[in-house]
Amino acid sequence: MIKVMLALGVAAVALTATPSEARRTGPVTCAKWRHGHCMRWRPRYSVGYTFGPTFGYTALGALPGTYVTRYHLRNNYRYVNENGYIYVVNPRTYRVIRVIPAY
């Protein structure tokens, strides 16, 4: 009986074992795989994604000043600052029109 339980436990671990990058969930996905490892990440939200009117947008004043001046960000757009990216959103359609990497 102990051997059967041990065999079932090993089989369960073998079926759920994946690379650490593959288990990562959230707003980024892998853009390029090599030898079972992710070589390049990309944002999960891309140009054209619709956030909607009730999403919690970031105020322009809350964004880092260097990005505001460098990318000419203005008050007439909405912004989402998540996981290393700034998403510029059209306030009428609520669609992403620009993705800025904020490292």
Q: Which residue has the higher pLDDT, 50 or 14?
A: 50
- % residues pLDDT > 90 (the chain): 40
What are the two backbone dihedrals, phi and then psi, of residue 37, each rounded to the nearest 5 degrees? -125, 145
Which pLDDT tens digit goes with each residue over 11-47?
444 444 444 434 444 556 777 888 888 887 777 788 8
DSSP, collapsed to helix, strand or coil, labels residue 18 as: coil
- Determine the pLDDT at residue 32: 81
Residue 1's pLDDT band (cuts 50, 70, 90):
low
Sheet holding 78-82, edge to edge: 78-82, 85-89, 96-101
Q: Quote the pTM value.
A: 0.63
pLDDT band at residue 95 under the 50/70/90 scheme: very high
